[in-house]
Amino acid sequence: MESTAKFTKSMVECSLLDKELGRPFKPGARREATPEWDKDKCVRCGLCYVYCPDGAIYRAEDGFFEADTDKCKGCGICHRECWFGVISMVKED
Amino acid sequence: MDKFSLFVPNFLPFKEYFVPEKNIACSGCGLALAIRQTYKALEAVIEKAEWVKAGDGKLFAKLFDKSPMGNSEPSLLRIKKPGGELIICFDNEAGGSLEEAVKKAMPAIAVAEGFRYVATACPSYPFDLYEKVKKGLEAEGKAYIHILCPCPVAWQFDPELTVKIGRWAVESRTFPLYEVGSASAYHLTGTTAKPRPLADYLKPQYRFAEISEQQIADLTTTVESDYKKLTDKIQPE
């Protein structure tokens, strides 16, 4: 039995590439909470950097670690893995 | 400038090889974490690999057989090297059955097939994983590495717990970390004197929400007998 649906490749592409629907994708766009470091307690060991799945944590110029908000997805692994409990997840509005 | 001499990233290369701009992995993905750590160990290979241009001009090393973020089948990474091949299996237990969570036959099959270096690893132990991938690259002949990647979506737990769950899998002896060198010499890496109760590993996962106490007791005996079979293979020095 032949399929009655006749979607051609070009039709599908047209609907997907509609500029009204399309918008640039940013991995960190749907984040619920952002990690924040308590710089008084942080010893700058770098464990949060090692365990970040998205590679969002980088070392700033002052030696402390920060999260790139374009990449961070707010999973909270750094918050769990920090030995000193320095990282807190702050909810965004 | 640094007050403390211990700076953890010093043990790993600082350069990032697998951080795509359009990273579509879920939040807290264990697979993405494992790939990121593996790529750091494969530094020497990636420099020579075939590079693919992504949409925004960033380059990716083309190493995977399939899509690295494929969910339905374990992704295999095959790296050709002089005298053989290094195969890395990223296992996220997408089948989701209880038997799959306990039994890991692939490393045993690889040993029987005559692989020169076989190892199991978990991204919860990043330096262990790094060392094993390095050893797999340097081994003469074929090498196989089995990596357990906790998946928050399929296993249904809080993405915060990805690294902890992997650690609990190892500590409860469900997924013991070991390596098999040449001449089938087994070597356990990271042993714990007292195993963690199996319930600690299974209970946070909602896919096992309906598991009974009896099933946990049965599984504990299975895990213990499997672990004993493994330790029996270790020859006394």
Q: Which residues of B touch A55 (CB under 8 A)?
A: 16, 18-19, 36
Note whether residue A22 is domain-resident.
Answer: yes
| Lowest-pLDDT range of A78-87, B93-102, B183-192 | B93-102
Reduced to 3 states (helix: H, G, I; strand: E, B; else coil), residue B207 is: helix
Note whether residue A60 is domain-resident.
Answer: yes
**Residue A85 domain boundaries:** 9-91
Pairwise CA distance, residues B206 & B99, whole Å: 16
| Lowest-pLDDT range of A38-47, A76-85, B82-91 | B82-91
Note whether residue A53 is domain-resident.
Answer: yes
Reduced to 3 states (helix: H, G, I; strand: E, B; else coil), residue B121 is: strand
B3 touches chain A (CB under 8 A): yes
Note whether residue A36 is domain-resident.
Answer: yes
Note whether residue A2 is domain-resident.
Answer: no
Q: Which residues of B touch A59 (CB under 8 A)?
A: 9
Distance from CA of B9 to the nearest CA of A (A): 6
* Mean of pLDDT values over B197-224: 89
Q: What is the pLDDT of residue B13?
A: 78
Note whether residue A59 is domain-resident.
Answer: yes
Q: Which residues of A touch B16 (CB under 8 A)?
A: 55
Using the structure block, give the residue that is written with the tokens 């007998």: B225
The model's confidence at residue B69, banded by pLDDT at 50, 70 and 90, is very low
Note whether residue A1 is domain-resident.
Answer: no
Reduced to 3 states (helix: H, G, I; strand: E, B; else coil), residue B210 is: coil
Judge: B33–A47 Cβ closer than 8 Å, yes or no. no
Read off the CATH number of the domain in which A51 is found: 3.30.70.20
Using the structure block, give the residue that is written with the tokens 């770098």: A46
Q: Which residues of B touch A80 (CB under 8 A)?
A: 160-161, 163-164
* Mean of pLDDT values over B154-170: 89
Q: What is the pLDDT of residue B140?
A: 86
What single letter denotes the amino acid at residue B228? K
Task: Give A62-79 pLDDT, tens digit per residue.
Answer: 888 999 888 888 888 999
Number of domains observed in the structure of chain A: 1
Note whether residue A72 is domain-resident.
Answer: yes
Tokens of B78: 């095959």
Task: Give B100-144 pLDDT, tens digit per residue.
Answer: 666 667 888 888 888 889 999 999 999 999 999 989 888 888 898
Instruction: Using CB atoms, pick whichever of A47, A55, A74 lies closest to residue B8.
Output: A47
Is the pLDDT score of B66 beyond 50? no
Q: So what's the ipTM on this one?
A: 0.80
